[in-house]
Amino acid sequence: MDYGENPAPRWSKMIRCADLGKEFRTWVYKGARRSLTTVTALKSVTFEAQEGERLAVVGPNGSGKSTLLRILSTLLLPTTGRAWICGRDVVTQAAWVRRKIGVVLGSERSLYWKLSGFENLMLFGTFYGLSGFELKQRAFALLELVGLKEAAHRLVETYSTGMKQRLALARALMHRPPVLLLDEPMSGVDPEGTQQFVTLLSEIAAQTGVTMLVTTHDMELAEGFPRVVLMHEGTAMFVGPPRELFRQLGIGSTVTVQALADDPDRLLPKARDLGHLARDVRVTWSGRHAQLQTECDDPEEAAVRLIEGVRAAGGTVVSVAIEKPGLKAAFLKLVRESGQEGAS
Amino acid sequence: MLGIARSVLALLWKEMLYRARYPISLLNLAVSPFLIVGPYVMVAKMYGASEEFQVSVAVGLILWYWLSELFWIVGFAFRDEMEEGVLGILAVVPAGLGCLLAAKFLDALCISSYITAFMIIWFRIFAVQVATNWAQAVVLVCSAVALGAFSVLYAGIVLLAKRASAVGSLTQQALGILSGMTFSVSRLPRVLQLVAGLLPLTYGIRAMRTVTVTHCLVSVWADLLKLLLLAAAMLPLGVALLGVAIRRAKVDGTMEMF
Closest-CA distance, A230 to chain B, in angstroms, reads 23
- Count CB atoms within 10 A of the CB of residue B213: 13
Minimum distance, in Å, between the CA of residue A141 and any CA atom of chain B: 20
C-alpha R_g of chain B: 19
What local confidence, expressed as pLDDT, does residue A205 receive?
A: 87
**Structural contact between residues A229 and A236, judged by C-beta atoms closer than 8 angstroms:** yes
Banded model confidence at residue A342, pLDDT cuts 50, 70, 90: very low
Choose among A125, A114, A245, A58: nearest CA to B18. A114
pLDDT in tens, A113-156: 999 999 999 999 999 999 999 999 999 999 999 999 999 999 99
Distance CA A285, CA A65 (A): 48
Q: How far is CA A140 from the centre of its chain?
A: 28
pLDDT at A344 over 50: no
Cα dihedral sign, A315-A318-A323-A324: positive
Residue B81 Cα to chain centre, angstroms: 19
For residue A190, which phi and psi values (nearest 5 degrees)?
-70, 165
Using the beta-carbon criterion (under 8 Å), do B17 and A114 form an inter-chain contact?
A: yes
Mean pLDDT of chain A: 86
In the three-class reduction of DSSP (H, G, I as helix; E, B as strand; rest coil), residue A84 is classed as strand
Average pLDDT, integer, range B179-208? 86
Alpha-carbon span A78 to A71, nearest angstrom: 6
CA distance B22 to chain A (A): 9
The least confident of A141-155, A163-177, B177-191 is B177-191
Contacts of A132 in chain B (CB under 8 A): none
B205-221: average pLDDT? 87
pLDDT in tens, B58-106: 888 888 888 888 888 988 899 889 888 899 999 999 988 889 999 999 9
Q: Given a cut of 50, is residue B172 above it in pLDDT?
A: yes
Chain A contact set for B22 (CB, 8 A) = 114
Residue A114 has its nearest CB partner, among B18, B88, B252, at B18
Could you report the per-residue pLDDT of A181-191, keeping only the tens digit for each? 999 888 878 88
Nearest residue of B to residue A27 by CA position? B252
Neighbours of B137 (CB within 10 A): 11
What's the pLDDT tens digit per position in B14-59?
999 998 888 888 888 888 888 887 887 788 778 877 877 878 888 8
**DSSP-derived secondary structure letter, A9:** P
Distance CA B212, CA B228 (A): 20
Least confident of A210-214, A249-253, B251-255: A249-253
pLDDT, average across residues A275-290: 76
User: What dihedral angle (degrees, nearest 10) is formed by the CA atoms of A118, B20, B11, B250?
Assistant: -90
Q: How many CB atoms lie within 10 A of CB B19?
A: 17
CA–CA dist B83, B258 (Å, integer): 8
- What pLDDT does A343 receive? 43
At residue B111, the pLDDT reads: 92
pLDDT reading at B6 higher than 70:
yes
* A115 to chain B, closest Cα gap in Å: 7
Residue among B84, B94, B255 minimizing CB distance to A128: B94
d(CA A45, CA A63): 12
Whole-number pLDDT of residue A202: 87
With an 8 Å Cβ cutoff, the interface of chain A facing chain B consists of 24-25, 67, 70, 73-77, 95, 98-99, 101, 103, 105, 107, 109-115, 119, 122-124, 126-129, 131, 155
Answer yes or no: is pLDDT of A213 > 90: yes
Beta strands A289-296 and A278-286, pairing class: antiparallel
User: What would the pLDDT profile of B135-171 be if each residue is shown by its tens digit?
Assistant: 888 998 999 999 899 889 888 888 888 766 667 778 8
Region for B99 from its dihedrals, namely left if φ exceeds 0, alpha if ψ lies in -120 to 50, beta otherwise: alpha
Helix (H, G, I), strand (E, B) or coil at A226: coil
Q: Does residue A7 surpass a pLDDT of 50?
A: no
pLDDT score of B250 more than 50: yes
pTM for the model: 0.84
Q: Where are the alpha helices (DSSP H) in chain B?
A: 2-21, 23-46, 51-73, 77-84, 87-90, 96-125, 134-161, 168-178, 190-196, 200-214, 221-252
| Gap from B253 CA to chain A (nearest CA, Å) | 6
**Closest residue, chain B, to A107 (C-alpha):** B85
Nearest residue on chain B to A114, alpha-carbon basis: B18
Number of CB atoms found within 10 A of residue B166's CB: 9
- Please list, residue by residue across A248-282, b when 16 or more beta carbons sit within 10 angstroms of its beta carbon and e when fewer do: ebebbbbbbbbbebeeeeebbebbbebeebbeebe
Q: Nearest 5°: phi and psi at A252? A: -105, 175
